[in-house]
Amino acid sequence: MIAPRGGARSGTPAGGVPSHGSRPHEAAHRRAAATTRPDASPYLDRRPPVAALAPTVLVAVLGFTMAGLLWVRQANSVADTGRAIAHLLERREALLMQRAAARVALAQATDPGGLADRARGLGFVPVEEAAVEVVVVTADAAPAGSAALAEPGRRSPLELIVPPSDVPTADADEPSLSAIPLSFWQALEPSP
Amino acid sequence: MRGRVDYPRLPWLGFALFGAMALVAGRVVWLSARPASAAGAAWEPSTEVLPQRGAMWDRRGRLVATESYDRYEVILEKAKLPDPAGFLAAASPHLGARADFVRQQLDDPMVKWVTVFSYAQREAADAVKALAPAEAVFVRPLASRHYALGEAAGHLTGFVDANGNGEYGIEAAYNAQLIGVKGHTPGPFGTDPRAFVPPREGTDLVLTIDRDLQLAVWRILAAHIGTQDATGGTVIVLEPSTGDVLASVSYPAYDPNNFGAADVNRYIDPAVGAYYPPGSVLKPLSLAAAIDGGILSPNSTYDDTATVFYQGVTIPNQDYTAHGAATMWQMLQLSLNVGAVHVADTLGSARFYRALDAFGLGRPTGIDVAGEAPGMIVQPGAEGWVGSNFAYNAFGQGLDVTPLQMAAAMATIANDGVRMTPRVVRQLRADGAPPHDVAPVPVAQVISAATARTMRTMLESVVAETATGAEMAHHTSGGKTGTSELFDSDGDGEDDLIASFCGFFPVAKPRAVILVKLDRPVGERGSRVAAPIFAEVAEVVAGALGVVGDKAEGDE
């Protein structure tokens, strides 16, 4: 068996397929020699050298493509999310403005001076304290015979909130409700 | 059969492809796994996302201050402006002092965009916008501050300057909480969501003031300033049990909605940042210390001789009358200076000044507004001290306190001897967090509860006997008048007077302490000028708080 020169130069084992540097007649000679080897693959030995690297290149191209697709997908997702964020920021700013405007409008609508003006415009006049008659209402204990009304499930909400035993009784030392001044709103009237 | 072709560099191509693939894969993994903050830091330049400044609400949840977006930036694109000279001529009336700047910018060939207004009101922005083609002018709303109470609470709220920073009052004291935290995006065209950091909105504040009460007290003060021809005045309403400021108004004031138009000297809140000699309002404090220390009792007597000579100076009673054997009741009711010197002398200077310090005079109260002044009390041994200072200080002259210090000291008596730190914010509402209640802060038990009750009874007698103008219709009230002198502070050749009254109601368990101070009123004496204002304000406060009257019917 003759060891090919090209194989030795290219570092391939003896009897292997040289990848380059062979002359046509030498290659034909080596091909003929290879076909005589019992363990040689006729298919491989007939492939051109570029075909031997094809799987590697294919894997690389596929990997590159997949990574690129991942990149594009990622970038697309990022762009969508970023656009959504930008949109939400604009929406947020608009809502903040609307909220601020609503707050200001509410503050102006509940301004005591403004309310007084509107009331006057509607024909109301400030109340004089002397013109107010205060009616003091005291909650007496339930009269006899009314127990029949207090059936289970039919108790009045007020009875639950203020049981008769907790109702304060009139006391001579206690101040009367008429002592609550009315001048708070009067003070909000524009000074002359 | 074709000849075989060799590709000697093909392996290197394979390696290159593998390398590129590894780089792309690595970059994808890096982008996916990297934390957002690191991603954001890598982007330059970034665009800030400004948070909205926190609002202020009163104790009943009504608006006091908020962002309003009613200021505008107006920008002009010169290339799309057909007649710059004509535009300038038409816009000049609206531009005011800015007209020269705009003219200069229009004439400068290097300038392509002209900022006509950087912070204009709507009327001006609309007027200028109407003078230029729509494609040449850009109007952008800017965040600005709206104060619902205007000048009625300008001193208390402070304002926000053009840079978005709080100045004076609550705006400055709580600027860090109100301003929030800026967010940022990768830039005007950046889309990386990992680089987006959302803003944290400013914290809302719930104040201790009552909006309607603040407005009502403001109107009362303004009316009396007018009728008394006073140069200024202050009214403070405190809740003694918590230190809550229910209302605080001072005159002259400024409107924080248009702070630029006001004199800068008005920005300081006189309630916390201006000094005045308290006058006779101080007398209950030294007497309380003497009674609490067992040195004097309400019925202790002294020989009132109309004047007292002390360390080279003669101190007269305000009525220049000798009252003979006078009790401490009389000393307070008649506001006898001779008696006040007696009390201070009996107490001793060390204990006297220690008592003033314990009541919080001469030092900041710790209220949560900016610009609080400490007051000025010259202690014995300090530079400028002379012996007669002690005698003057005994009846509230020769020392300077802030109105809030005086109100807080009276609130100590009203709160059974416990001094509370005044406060104006009762709750913080941060973005995305549960509300945080600000707890009232007690400072010290200055006098015993028994002494405080005794003092309240004595001060009630002051209202009943002499300061009758402070009487309320349905509520018991107590307090002390004060008339102090300012040495020709306005340069008109005459000493000026400050009339004041500091009191509380109801006497048994005070719900409010009210200090009234008028500067240079025509009525002069505190009992005649300030006491009726106290009563008027107190009636309003009683209505606002729903305080039921405690006077027996026959007492009215």
**What domains can you pick out in chain B, each with its CATH number?**
68-145 (3.30.1390), 211-428+438-549 (3.40.710.10)
Among chain A residues, CA nearest to B28:
A71
Q: Which of residues 303-322 of B touch A (CB under 8 A)?
A: none
B interface test, pick of A111, A174, A182, A186 with most B CB neighbours within 10 Å: A111
User: Are residues A181 and B10, on separate chains, in Cβ contact within 8 Å?
Assistant: no
Are A23 and A52 within 8 A, CB to CB?
no
**Residue-by-residue DSSP string for B276-328:** B--GGGGHHHHHHHHHHTTS--TT-EEEE-SEEEETTEEEE-TT----EEEEH
Can you give the pLDDT of all 556 residues of chain B as single tens digits? 455 556 677 778 778 877 877 887 777 676 666 555 444 444 444 578 889 999 999 999 999 999 888 888 889 998 888 888 888 888 888 888 888 898 998 888 888 889 988 888 888 888 888 888 888 888 888 888 999 999 999 999 999 998 889 999 999 999 999 999 998 887 555 556 777 888 999 999 999 999 989 999 999 999 999 988 899 999 999 999 999 999 999 999 999 998 988 899 999 999 999 999 999 999 999 999 999 999 999 999 999 999 999 888 999 998 899 999 999 999 999 999 999 999 999 999 999 999 999 999 999 999 999 999 999 998 888 888 888 899 999 999 999 999 999 999 999 999 999 999 999 999 999 988 999 999 999 999 999 999 999 999 999 999 999 999 999 988 999 999 999 887 766 666 666 889 999 999 999 999 999 999 999 888 666 668 899 999 999 999 998 898 888 887 555 4
Q: What is the largest CA-CA distance in chain B?
A: 144
On chain B, the residues whose CB falls within 8 A of the CB of A23 are none
Bridge partners (DSSP) of residue B167 are B159
Q: How far apart are CA B393 and CA A110, in angstroms?
A: 47
Q: Which of B66, B194, B474 sits opposite A104 (nearest CB)?
A: B66
pTM, two decimals, is: 0.76
Q: Which of residues 59-88 of B touch A (CB under 8 A)?
A: 62-63, 66-69
A interface test, pick of B13, B21, B192, B507 with most A CB neighbours within 10 Å: B21
- Angle at which helix B349-358 crosses helix B283-292, to 10 degrees, equals 110
User: Are residues A104 and B539, on separate chains, in Cβ contact within 8 Å?
Assistant: no
Q: Given CB atoms, is B152 within the 8 Å cutoff of chain A? A: no
Q: Is the peptide bond before B35 cis (omega within 30 degrees of 0)?
A: no
Tokens coding B535 = 């009563």
Collapsing DSSP states into helix, strand and coil, what is residue B513? strand
How far separated are the first and last CA of chain A, in Å rounded?
129
CA atoms within 13 A on the CB side of B390: 24
User: Are residues B68 and A104, on separate chains, in Cβ contact within 8 Å?
Assistant: yes
Quickly tell me which residue has 């403004």 as its tokens: A114
User: Are residues B63 and A103, on separate chains, in Cβ contact within 8 Å?
Assistant: yes
User: Are residues B10 and A57, on separate chains, in Cβ contact within 8 Å?
Assistant: yes
Q: Given CB atoms, is B475 within the 8 Å cutoff of chain A? A: yes
Among chain A residues, CA nearest to B552:
A175
On chain B, the residues whose CB falls within 8 A of the CB of A93 are none
Phi and psi torsions of B542, nearest 5°? -60, -40
Which of these, B471, B220, B543, lies nearest to A185 by C-alpha position?
A: B543
Q: How far apart are CA B308 and CA B344, in angstroms?
A: 13
Q: What is the pLDDT of residue B156?
A: 96
Tokens coding A34 = 């290879």
Q: Given CB atoms, is B49 within the 8 Å cutoff of chain A? A: yes
Q: How far apart are CA B258 and CA B527, in angstroms?
A: 37
Among chain A residues, CA nearest to B9:
A50
Among chain B residues, CA nearest to A56:
B14
Are B224 and B249 within 8 A, CB to CB?
no
Phi and psi torsions of B48, nearest 5°? -75, 140
Q: How far apart are CA B277 and CA B251, in angstroms?
A: 18
User: Are residues A179 and B549, on separate chains, in Cβ contact within 8 Å?
Assistant: yes
Bridge partners (DSSP) of residue A95 are none
Bridge partners (DSSP) of residue B205 are B56, B428
**Distance in Å, alpha carbon of A144 to nearest chain B alpha carbon:** 33
User: Are residues B66 and A187, on separate chains, in Cβ contact within 8 Å?
Assistant: no
Phi and psi torsions of B450, nearest 5°? -65, -45
Q: Is the pLDDT of residue A3 over 70?
A: no
**Distance in Å, alpha carbon of A90 to nearest chain B alpha carbon:** 10
Q: What Rg do the C-alpha atoms of chain A give, in angstroms?
A: 51
Among chain A residues, CA nearest to B197:
A85
Using the 8-state DSSP alphabet, how is residue B144 labeled? -
On chain A, the residues whose CB falls within 8 A of the CB of B220 are 187
The model's confidence at residue A146, banded by pLDDT at 50, 70 and 90, is very low
Task: Determine how many CB atoms are found less than 10 A away from the CB of residue B108.
Answer: 11
Task: Determine how many CB atoms are found less than 10 A away from the CB of residue B133.
Answer: 12
Q: Is the dihedral of CA A143, A144, A149, A150 positive or negative?
A: positive
Per-residue burial over A118-142, b if 16 or more Cβ lie within 10 Å, else e, is eeeeeeeeeeeeeeeeeeeeeeeee
**Residue-by-residue DSSP string for chain A:** -PPPHHHHHHTPPTTS---S---HHHHHHHHHHHHT-TT--HHHHHS-HHHHHHHHHHHHHHHHHHHHHHHHHHHHHHHHHHHHHHHHHHHHHHHHHHHHHHHHHHHHHT-HHHHHHHHHHTT--PPPGGG--------PPPPTTGGGG--TT---HHHHHS-GGGSPPP-TTSPPGGGS--HHHHHTSPP-
On chain A, the residues whose CB falls within 8 A of the CB of B146 are 100, 103-104, 107
**Distance in Å, alpha carbon of A74 to nearest chain B alpha carbon:** 8
Collapsing DSSP states into helix, strand and coil, what is residue B71? strand
Collapsing DSSP states into helix, strand and coil, what is residue B516? strand
Q: Given CB atoms, is B550 within the 8 Å cutoff of chain A? A: yes
Q: Is the pLDDT of residue A163 over 50?
A: no
Q: How far apart are CA A37 and CA A41, in angstroms?
A: 9
Q: How far apart are CA B415 and CA B456, in angstroms?
A: 10
Q: Given CB atoms, is B8 within the 8 Å cutoff of chain A? A: yes
In order of A134, A175, B325, B551, the CA distances from B554 in angstroms are: 18, 12, 32, 8
Higher-confidence residue of B408 and A14: namely B408
Q: How far apart are CA A3 and CA B266, in angstroms?
A: 107
B interface test, pick of A17, A66, A180 with most B CB neighbours within 10 Å: A180
Quickly tell me which residue has 């609080």 as its tokens: B372
